[in-house]
Amino acid sequence: MSFFRRFSALYQWLYTQFHRIPSVPRNVLITGGFLCGAYFISDILMGHTGGENNSALVFVLAVVLISLLTSGYRYGILASIIGTFCINYYFMVPYSQFSLSYAGYPVAMLSMVAISCVVCALTARVKLQAAEAVSREKKAKALYQLNERLNQEKADIQLQSARETIRGNILRAVSHDLRTPLTSISGSAAVLLASGEISEKNAAMLKDIKADADDLIVMVENLLSVTRIQDSTIPLKKREEVLEEVAGDAVLTTRRRFPDFQVELVLSEDILYLPMDPMLIKQVMVNLLENAVRHSGDREHITLHLYRQDNWAVAEVRDRGTGLSPELCQAIQSGRPISRDLSGDTTRGMGIGLSVCQSIIKAHGGFFAAGNNPEGGAVFRFGLPMEDFPNE
């Protein structure tokens, strides 16, 4: 066993070293080696058999091996021609002399050349078919691996889709279950505040309870909206609306929730009449105005400005507060979800509100952007197409 392993290792090493030689010199060495081998074997056979001539079979065998081990069929044909002359010169009467004078010599030589050429052609075809079979096997293996990879990716996508569906269903279920008790808490707190039969300290606590309940109601509504739009469970109910009326309703809602803040509406001379889902667009405006109220630190310069820019109806929410971080601006411009770390507020859910705005505007085929005002403060801007382009 040890000897066999050593012999196998030696053979592999010699095979590797030999195939490092360039193609042409390697083919020439193979051709010359087998022709020399055929000559010596024929010479030995002739010494043992006397005048009986077996050299033709030996050279034909050499031609077959040369055709198998060299590239193409040129070396095999060349070997057959050289071998024919060697047989005539060395192993046929008169020896050591080329002659065609004896009967049968020309036919024998031509027959050997023809047989050798046919063998070379057949050998070349076999090698070509073998190479094609190897190529087909490699292609089939590559296609199989590609199919396996695509199936794996498909399974991953299906798994991710199932997870997203489960997550959306859980969010919707929790949001529905929370909305009713939160509304009840807010309403009860409002009734107690209106009764006037409580102390000043308890009234302040009730105001905080009502404010927190209203904030949670807004957050629940945002969660419902973003999950429904992302999962496409509800289609957009678009109709022709005047954007100024939707903006006025959003400003009134914000003023009722934050009576101590000054929120202004600035209109353009153009009437912005376009297809939209008014309830969702109002939600976008209310979210942006409430973010400005809660996060900017500005109480007097919050404005909602409407104007037309080419074929877009644009709405801007401006303030003169602390502005936005570069990371938050970059996240909004790239369209990726806003995390709590970027929102700068871990208690009020600014990221959820902005994600809702992004999803709603994207569903309308519009654009959403944010940046800092050179005069100070933040600017949130979204645009809606004035014509109802099909959603892609």
Which residues have CB under 8 Å from 72's CB, separation 6+?
Answer: 124
Please identify which residue in the block is written with the tokens 């959603």. 391
Domain boundaries, the chain: 2-148, 238-385
Q: Quick check: 232 and 261 in contact, CB under 8 A?
A: no
The whole-chain average pLDDT of the chain stands at 78
Find, among 161, 80, 147, the residue nearest to 114 by Cα: 80
**pTM for the whole thing?**
0.49
Q: Which helix (H) or strand (E) holds 74?
A: helix 74-90
Query: Is 311:386 a contact under the CB 8 Å cutoff?
Result: yes
Is it true that domain 238-385 has CATH number 2.120.10.30?
no
Under a CB-based contact definition with an 8 Å cutoff, are residues 382 and 314 in contact? yes
* C-alpha to C-alpha distance for 54 and 66, rounded to whole angstroms: 19
Instruction: Give residue 335's pLDDT.
Output: 61
Over residues 321-377, the pLDDT tens digits come to 888 888 877 777 766 556 555 544 443 445 667 877 888 888 888 999 888 888 888
Q: Quick check: helix, strand or coil at residue 276?
A: strand
- With 0-12 CB in 10 A as exposed, 13-18 as middle and 19+ as buried, what is 156? exposed
**At which residue do the structure tokens 């049968």 appear?**
104
C-alpha distances in Å from residue 219, one per residue of 33, 169, 212, 283: 87, 17, 10, 11
Read off the pLDDT of residues 105-121 as tens digits, 9 standing for 90 and up: 677 677 777 777 777 77
CA distance 267 to 278: 17
Peptide bond connecting 235 to the previous residue in cis, omega within 30 degrees of 0: no
pLDDT tens readout for residues 178-223? 767 777 777 777 777 777 677 777 777 877 787 777 767 766 776 6
What span, in angstroms and rounded, lies between the C-alpha atoms of 304 and 292?
11
